[in-house]
Structure 1
Amino acid sequence: MSAARVFLLALLLGFMCPALAEVAVPQLTGRVVDQTGTLSASDIASLNDRLKDLETRKGAQIAILIVPTTDGEPIEQFSIRVAEAWKIGRKKIDDGALLVIARNDRHLRIEVGYGLEGVLSDVITHRIIDEEITPKFKAGDFAGGISAGVDRMIRLVDGEQLPAPEPAHWQAPDLIDFANPVLIFAVIIGAGILRAALGRLLGSVATGGIVGVFAWMVAGSLAAAILVGLFGFAAALIFGGLNFGGPVVGSGPYRRGGGYPGGWSGGGGWSSGSSSSDSGGFSGGGGSFGGGGASGSW
């Protein structure tokens, strides 16, 4: 009886240990996540530009993950865990695809969302791996293999009929109304009044805040509000001190309480945090995966 219990315990531990040893799903920090240093910065930038362009045109998302190893876990099981966590592709359209490479294991897989299984079928993805990716991997050209495979996937997705992507609220079409000369003139006049009442710096900050809130209400976009608010602040700081024939408060043009002689030199602190290429700004759109795709090795 004791021997049977030991046997059952060993069997249970045998089933549990692989689950406990699963490699953690890496954090989605961009369209290309390389944990091995395989790709150079220029390689990543080139891939990111192409994948971002695809998403802009078609709405579909493709992401790339390179890990050292899956630590014995089948590449199929690991990649579906990543796909379910990252949710690449748009929700209910499921137009996402994921290229996973375990470099030390010499295994790779293309995981395909439900919405792309027609164009990136199991047969097609197997051919992409065999014809485009693994021949270059065998020659040591990892960047070339990934680039060739991704390019072929992009061409296929380009030929698929997919719902058009929704335009981003913060892009130029939504900001055109704020470039109206009348509004710009009103901002400058309002900035002059606020600067006269609060001083140059506080008046400019108040102007930027008011303009930003107004932009948020109109455009419904925080990004647009920030951009327009920064414009309002800069316009108030530069042009808000112009004298249009109105009363002058204080000893200098719109100066109060001693003002800020020589101008304000702290402009370097107002840099936009959205200028980085992709990391932090990319996320999955809620797409679902069902195990479609193909695996390979080299």
Structure 2
Amino acid sequence: MFARALVLAFLLCWPFAASAQVAVPTLSGRVVDQTATLSAGDIDTLTQRLKDLERRKGSQIAVLIVPTTQPEAIEQFSIRVAEAWKIGRKKIDDGALLVVAKNDHKLRIEVGYGLEGALTDVTSRRIIDEVIVPRFRSGDFAGGISAGVDRMIRVIDGEPLPSPQPEASHHVDNADLGLWLNIIFSPFGLLGYAAIAAAMRGLLGRLLGSGATAGIVGGIIWLIIGSIAISAVAGVAAFFVTMFADAILASSMNANRSVGRGRGGWSSGSSSGSSGGSWSSGSSSSDSGGFSGGGGDFGGGGASGSW
């Protein structure tokens, strides 16, 4: 009877204990600071260094600063974050996560499987004890995190890892992608496309000219964005638009004439009143760092410390 009561009490208390865990923060960038400890300049500088590491080496490092992990130990919290964020490349698992629980005076370096040979438990502990903690004790949190990240980068640079994929050199962040889309679909971008399409159709005819235009448009999109899939879609769209441009234009003009006759005449505002068909600067995504984990796995390697 007593044993049943204990089991029942455990089952009743478990949902409340689970809900008491600190939620895993959204991966909004390479540096996530929920305590306003770092200035915008600090975050930008760190982010750039981590971007450079990924472009050069392929590895990913993320930094997370939270007020507390209580009632959870920082080890359990950091592995939950690492598993959710999946820092590092898939099947290479070359990611690392620096977690600072400021109010708890605790920190941890969580290391992916692929970096455990370089960022060993001993090495991670030394980075914490010799590089980060002394600066934290003097109140220099930005300096401690920066120096710790620099040491982690130096260790990773010495580890032989697979080279980044060629697409990495063409990687465009979400904010940059939005900017390029605004440029491509601006009047100047559309005018450039129209000029290319007219020139190709005039030189090569309807079919070959449409194919040449598709190749040019697809190539330009690939150079800008670095995505074969997006460039292929853009090329196919350019082919059909160029191929049937005259039919599309004639259909549009007939529709406008019908609307004009129905209203008793042409209206200068009839073609520009819609706001749903145009691109605006507000359509680009906000600058969240354009960062996501690459699918790396973690097994609990790393070290913890306090100050």
Please say whether Structure 1 and Structure 2 have the same fold, judged by a TM-score greater than 0.5. yes
Number of equivalenced pairs: 242
Task: Letter of the 1:34 partner, please give it.
Answer: D
Whether the aligned pair in 2 keeps the contact of 1:87 and 1:285 (CA below 8 Å) is yes
Question: 1:260-279, aligned counterparts within 5 Å?
Answer: 271=281, 279=288
Task: Letter of the 1:32 partner, please give it.
Answer: V
Q: Deviations over 1:11-49 (max 9, x none)?
A: 444555432311111010000000110100000000000
Q: Are 2:130 and 1:131 equivalent residues in the alignment? A: yes
Cα–Cα, structure 1 residues 217 and 129, in superposed 2: closer, same or farther, change >3 Å?
closer
For the residue of structure 1 that corresponds to 2:52, the secondary structure is: helix
Q: Deviations over 1:38-65 (max 9, x none)?
A: 1000000000000000000000000000
More helix as a share of residues: 2
Q: Give distance in 1, aligned partners of 2:118 and 2:284.
A: 34
1:19 — aligned with what? 18
Whether the aligned pair in 2 keeps the contact of 1:130 and 1:296 (CA below 8 Å) is yes
For the residue of structure 2 that corresponds to 1:46, the secondary structure is: helix
1:283 — aligned with what? 292
1:293 — aligned with what? 302
Q: Deviations over 1:103-155 (max 9, x none)?
A: 11111100000000010000000000000111111111100000000000000
- Alpha-carbon RMSD: 4.0
- Kindly, what percent of the aligned residue pairs are identical? 62
Q: Give distance in 2, aligned partners of 1:287 and 1:114.
A: 8
Cα–Cα, structure 1 residues 7 and 186, in superposed 2: closer, same or farther, change >3 Å?
closer
Q: Deviations over 1:57-90 (max 9, x none)?
A: 0000000001111122010000000000000000
1:117 — aligned with what? 116
For the residue of structure 2 that corresponds to 1:168, the secondary structure is: helix
Cα–Cα, structure 1 residues 164 and 4, in superposed 2: closer, same or farther, change >3 Å?
closer
Alpha-carbon offset, residue 8 of structure 1: 3.9
Task: Letter of the 1:291 partner, please give it.
Answer: G
Whether the aligned pair in 2 keeps the contact of 1:169 and 1:220 (CA below 8 Å) is no
Q: Are 2:77 and 1:81 equivalent residues in the alignment? A: no
Q: Are 2:8 and 1:9 equivalent residues in the alignment? A: yes
Q: Give distance in 2, aligned partners of 1:143 and 1:209.
A: 50
Structure 1: give runs of 5+ residues left out of the alignment: 173-183, 195-207, 233-257
For the residue of structure 2 that corresponds to 1:89, the secondary structure is: coil
For the residue of structure 2 that corresponds to 1:48, the secondary structure is: helix
Task: Letter of the 2:195 partner, please give it.
Answer: I
Cα–Cα, structure 1 residues 14 and 190, in superposed 2: closer, same or farther, change >3 Å?
closer
1:188 — aligned with what? 195
Structure 2: give runs of 5+ residues left out of the alignment: 172-190, 202-212, 239-265, 273-277
TM-score computed with the length of structure 1 as normaliser: 0.68
